[in-house]
């Protein structure tokens, strides 16, 4: 079968200038523009608004092989019958739990569920027992209130089934009536909120759980495990965020990821609302850059490769800047390496959180620019500072910056003008670059564009020698 690795595709990938205008690499999710109910042989059938995944570019111009996300069928379709899915606009009213009304009374819940409709539901926080939840369900002209008991980190209505979070609980009772009066049918959204699930589905970012196969655990994030997996034949990494409040916070990170597409940024394939939240990303076979460098070391990884990594990262960051996104947690641990040794920036984790609410104690002090540390002034220029620290990590093969110094010492000494020494055998121009990233005055630091140009020039130099 002409799959992802077919000769036609790999050839095309290495000759980007010959590509047709619309070039969608395998894994791209597209939305169909019209019905195509009577497909010819080998063609894919679809209805307007269906989501399909591109699996390969065909040799015949303007055609793709694609897989239908619902049916799982594979076939050909013309480029003109699909459009790429849209970025999700950052919208604070977008909610993973639009049915969660917060602290309202039982009487208010009954009013909210008018007119009666079997299976119409909402969840509220109990006023009398703060911290407890109540599931309110409309059934036969009445509203029934189920107390949700929180015990040993689990939520439960009837003690036979329990859940990590409200999202899972609602998902369960929408499929299975269990011990309650009716299956949940329709969420009653809290006024002023929009269902993230619906918006994600409409824009084409909601993936189908049935097509996801989960494998081994490959990492542990701050908020949950990262698993290897496969989605429609493509290797993926899946971050699972189980806590519903954290999942809601991650929605912002995820919406930021829908806006970007660049060879040096880890690509978001989509999300699934299950077990809290699954964030499905492209799989980066060689893991994070710190481990990559530590486990291989100087004898395996040459300086030229390090410069190439530095260039990859600055290109990704230059693009991020063009999209007006500030990363805020740029560090080698958040750079991932692909099978082909391409470095990509990941973890737009802090790329959004409300600036004023930043908890200083949670900042990665050794990577954070002084003006960001002291006055919360995050900008692309503070990302450039972090990039300088990252360069130091890279050229020291994954050492922790400011060796043997405490966070307090670092903050104080840096403020006084102290900077790290060059790593062992670090090319002088790289050390000069690092130092320029560590200018106290943010305006004096180079832009990612400038950094990119410098590195490209040096690489050419080395390549030619």
Identified binder of Mg ion from the candidate list 347, 434, 445, 458, rule CB under 5 A: 347
The sheet carrying 82-84 orders its strands as 74-78, 63-68, 51-57, 29-32, 82-84
Nearest residue to ligand ADP, by Cβ distance, number only: 219
- Residue whose CB is less far from Mg ion, 124 or 328: 328
Total site size for ligand ADP, rule CB under 6 A: 19
Is residue 334 a contact residue for ligand ADP (CB under 6 A)?
A: yes
- Per partner kind, with CB cut-offs from 5 to 8 A, the member of Mg ion, ligand ADP, none near residue 336 is ligand ADP
Identified binder of ligand ADP from the candidate list 167, 284, 330, 437, rule CB under 6 A: 284
Q: Minimum distance from CB of 335 to ligand ADP (Å)?
A: 9
Written as six digits, the tokens of 15 are 């000759």
Neighbours of 152 (CB within 10 A): 6
Nearest residue to Mg ion, by Cβ distance, number only: 347
The catalytic position among 329, 347, 354, 359 is: 329
Q: Please say whether the beta carbons of 390 and 335 come within 8 A.
A: yes
> Facing residues of 288 across strands?
336
Q: Is the peptide bond before 297 cis (omega within 30 degrees of 0)?
A: no
Total site size for Mg ion, rule CB under 5 A: 2
Neighbours of 164 (CB within 10 A): 15
- Burial of 18: CB neighbours in 10 Å, binned 0-12, 13-18, 19+: exposed
Q: Minimum distance from CB of 220 to Mg ion (Å)?
A: 10
329 tagged catalytic: yes
Q: Minimum distance from CB of 323 to ligand ADP (Å)?
A: 20
239 assigned ligand-binding residue? yes
Restricted to residues 321-340, the positions that interact with Mg ion (CB under 5 A) are 334
| Dihedral of the alpha carbons of 222, 228, 234, 239, in degrees to the nearest 10 | -20
Restricted to residues 367-426, the positions that interact with Mg ion (CB under 5 A) are none
CA distance 390 to 313: 10
Run of H or E residues at 464: helix 448-464
Written as six digits, the tokens of 174 are 């929408």
CA distance 426 to 396: 8
Restricted to residues 262-281, the positions that interact with ligand ADP (CB under 6 A) are 266, 281
The alpha-helical segments, DSSP class H, found in 204-343 are 244-258, 289-296, 303-322
Q: Minimum distance from CB of 404 to ligand ADP (Å)?
A: 24
The alpha-helical segments, DSSP class H, found in 132-233 are 166-175, 196-203
- Per partner kind, with CB cut-offs from 5 to 8 A, the member of ligand ADP, Mg ion, none near residue 226 is ligand ADP
Restricted to residues 187-226, the positions that interact with ligand ADP (CB under 6 A) are 218-219, 221-223, 226
Written as six digits, the tokens of 101 are 């009304």
- Residue whose CB is less far from ligand ADP, 224 or 423: 224
Q: Which residues does the annotation mark as catalytic?
A: 329
Task: Please give the residue ranges that form the binding site for ligand ADP (CB under 6 A).
Answer: 218-219, 221-223, 226, 237, 266, 281, 283-284, 287-288, 333-334, 336, 346-347, 349
Q: Please give the annotated binding residues for ATP, written as ranges.
A: 239
Q: Please give the annotated binding residues, written as ranges.
A: 239
Task: Please give the residue ranges that form the binding site for Mg ion (CB under 5 A).
Answer: 334, 347
């Amino acid at each position: 079968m002409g799959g992802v690795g077919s000769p036609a595709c790999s050839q095309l990938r290495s000759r980007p200038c010959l590509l047709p205008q619309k070039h969608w690499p395998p894994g791209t999710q597209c939305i169909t523009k019209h019905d195509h109910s009577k497909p010819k042989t080998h063609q894919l059938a679809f209805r307007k608004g269906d989501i399909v995944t591109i699996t390969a570019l065909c040799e015949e111009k303007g055609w793709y092989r694609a897989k239908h996300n619902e049916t799982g069928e594979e076939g050909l379709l013309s480029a003109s019958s699909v459009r790429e899915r849209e970025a999700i606009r950052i919208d604070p009213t977008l909610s993973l739990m639009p049915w969660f009304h917060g602290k309202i009374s039982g009487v208010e819940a009954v009013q909210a569920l008018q007119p009666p409709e079997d299976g119409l539901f909402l969840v509220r926080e109990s006023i009398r027992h703060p911290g407890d939840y109540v599931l309110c369900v409309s059934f036969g002209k009445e509203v029934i209130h189920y107390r949700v008991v929180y015990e040993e980190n689990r939520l439960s209505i009837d003690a036979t089934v329990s859940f990590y979070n409200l999202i899972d609980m609602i998902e369960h009772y929408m499929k299975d009536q269990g011990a309650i009066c009716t299956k949940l049918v329709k969420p009653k959204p809290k006024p002023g909120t929009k269902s993230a699930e619906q918006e994600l589905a409409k824009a084409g970012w909601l993936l189908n759980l049935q097509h996801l196969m989960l494998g081994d655990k490959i990492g542990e994030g701050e908020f949950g495990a990262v698993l290897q997996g496969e989605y429609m034949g493509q290797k993926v990494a899946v971050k699972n965020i189980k806590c519903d409040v954290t999942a809601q916070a991650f929605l912002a990170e995820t919406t930021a990821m829908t806006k970007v597409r660049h060879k040096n940024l880890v690509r978001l394939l989509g999300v699934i609302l299950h077990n809290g939240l699954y964030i499905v990303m492209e799989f980066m076979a060689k893991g994070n850059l710190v481990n990559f460098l530590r486990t291989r070391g100087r004898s395996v990884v040459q300086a030229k490769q390090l410069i190439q990594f530095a260039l990859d990262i600055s290109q990704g960051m230059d693009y991020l800047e063009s999209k007006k996104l500030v990363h805020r947690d740029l560090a080698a641990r958040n750079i991932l390496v692909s099978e082909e040794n391409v470095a990509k920036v990941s973890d737009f984790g802090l790329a959004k959180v409300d600036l004023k609410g930043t908890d200083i104690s949670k900042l990665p002090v050794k990577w954070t620019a002084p003006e960001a540390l002291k006055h919360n002034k995050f900008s692309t220029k503070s990302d450039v500072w972090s990039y300088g620290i990252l360069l130091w990590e890279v050229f020291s093969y994954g050492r922790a910056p400011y060796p043997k110094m405490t966070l307090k010492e670092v903050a104080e000494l840096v403020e006084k003008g102290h900077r790290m020494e060059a790593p062992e055998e670090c090319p002088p121009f790289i050390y000069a670059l690092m130092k320029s990233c560590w200018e106290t005055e943010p305006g004096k630091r180079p832009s990612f564009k400038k950094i990119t140009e410098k590195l490209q020039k040096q690489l050419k130099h080395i390549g030619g020698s």
